[in-house]
A and B are shown apart, each in its own frame.
Chain A
Amino acid sequence: MAETRDPHEQAEELLPWYATGQLDDADRSIVEAHLAACARCQRQLAGERRMVDRFQSFSPEVDSGWVRMRQRIEAPQRPRQSWIGQTASDFRQLLKRPAIAALATAQVGLLAIAAAIAPSLGSAPAYVALGDRAQPSPSANVIILFRPEATEAAMRTALRQNGASLVGGPTDADAYLLSVPARQRSAALEKLRADREVIMAEPIDGAIQ
């Protein structure tokens, strides 16, 4: 039975959790009954509280870790050793999910085109400074494919009307990467898709919102 133990030992053993408020009622009663009469345990309790404060006084940086974690989620199939510090590779991985999303949401007639784009993105140069992890945005948040006959003027107009800026491209499949203000992206996508010169416009969800 716990009651047969030396009350001082018993209370002393529980002091750290008494100091952090982590004891149940029974344990707390044991400690408090003893504390009232034991100057040594009172001093120890003060010491325990100082230890708690001291242990609380510093915490590690989290942001760099989160960027790393996110990239790993975006690229689940990438071998572990390769997901640190490879800008070009990061860029390709960033585009894999959107490419898949594009396949899922594009109209049937566009599937073949999207399929043609997706693998070609793998060879797209790293236009976006994704390596700048302290400031991960702005970056491409839309991928767009214009009709082959689209004129430069038409493309320029489409971008201007939607507040989009060119971030990258053309890829091997002649797709371009755009940056659109996050809040306007849905509206911009809608308008771009309605544009006669646009074959496909899809969100890239890898961009930090």
Chain B
Amino acid sequence: MRQGAQVSMSQTARPERTGAARAEGVEERELIERVRGHDLTAFERLYRLYQPRLTRFLSNVVQRPQVLEEVVDDTMMVVWDTAGNFRGASKLSTWIFSIAYRKALKARARWPDPVEEDPRDVRVSEEPAPDDHIQHERLHDALVAAMDSLSADHRAVVDLTYFHAMGYREIAEIMHCPVDTVKTRMFHARRRLREALGGTSADWL
């Protein structure tokens, strides 16, 4: 029973598996309705739901902390000001992330990211770690470094996929690109991550 492909498939049958991957609930729909009426309490709730997700997502596109903060807030201001424009044709998250991505691209044009590191420099040490905690930290650092080795667009796709648990069609809508572009970016990003993670790839694969 619990061997090989059977295990893989039964594990995959579980629905969404994380907080970020939760289905967009009735709550968000209700919140945006109230935000239309400039209900500040509803907007605070919406802000608290989205600020961490947007900060996280946009940090892949704009890397300057001050600019990042500004873009997140600018995005939420647009949500506050134009909530009436959201008609429910797409998911609320798609609408908000799409605003955020456009804002981020504009900000990036104004404030180019610092020069990206050579991915060869971010390969992590393969020395054995003294304990699990340090091992975990090392893997985390390796992941951050590996992400830094990717282009902004690749980072965005990776993070929208793994952290925000969005499907490739939704990502394509947010980034205004064909679905095949999303798939290709993800494919290449995974390969680059494997390369950059170097010594830890065994842990990944």
Interface residues of chain A, those whose CB is within 8 Å of chain B, are 12-14, 16-24, 32, 35-37, 39, 42-47, 49-52, 54-60, 62, 65-66, 68-70, 72-73, 80, 209
Contacts and interface: CB of A to CB of B under 8 A. Distances in A.
B52 A59 contact: yes
Contacts of B163: 52, 55-56
A32 B5 CA distance: 9
A66 B44 contact: yes
Given A20-B162, A21-B17, A52-B17, A66 B187 contact: no
B60 to A, nearest CB: 11
Contacts of B186: 13, 16
B90 interface: no
A21 B55 contact: no
B8 interface: yes
Given A36-B9, A55-B159, A72-B77, 18 more contacts: A13-B186, A14-B183, A17-B167, A20-B161, A21-B15, A21-B17, A22-B165, A35-B9, A42-B8, A52-B162, A56-B163, A65-B55, A66-B44, A69-B73, A69-B76, A73-B43, A73-B77, A209-B41
Given A21-B21, A70-B44, A13 B162 contact: no
Contacts of B159: 55
A83 B161 CA distance: 34
A66 B47 contact: yes
Interface string B32-61: 000000001101100110011001100100
A16 B162 contact: yes
Contact of A20 (B51, B70, B165): B165
Contact of A17 (B14, B18, B55, B161): B161
Contacts of B183: 13-14
Contacts of B114: none
Interface string B69-84: 1101100110010000
Contact of A62 (B18, B52, B77): B52
Nearest to A45: B8
A72 B81 CA distance: 12
B139 interface: yes
Contacts of A21: 12, 14-17, 21, 165
A20 B160 CA distance: 11
A23 B153 CA distance: 21
Contacts, number: 119
A51 B140 CA distance: 10
Interface of B: 4-5, 8-9, 11-12, 14-21, 40-41, 43-44, 47-48, 51-52, 55-56, 59, 69-70, 72-73, 76-77, 80, 139-140, 143, 159, 161-163, 165-168, 183, 186-187, 190, 193, 203-205
A80 B107 CA distance: 15
B37 to A, nearest CB: 14
A45 B36 CA distance: 42
Contacts of B44: 66, 70
Contacts of A35: 5, 8-9
Contacts of B20: 56
29 contacts: A12-B187, A13-B183, A16-B161, A16-B190, A20-B16, A20-B162, A21-B14, A22-B167, A32-B9, A42-B5, A45-B8, A45-B12, A46-B8, A47-B204, A51-B204, A52-B162, A54-B143, A54-B162, A55-B162, A56-B18, A56-B20, A57-B140, A60-B52, A62-B51, A62-B52, A66-B47, A70-B40, A73-B77, A209-B41
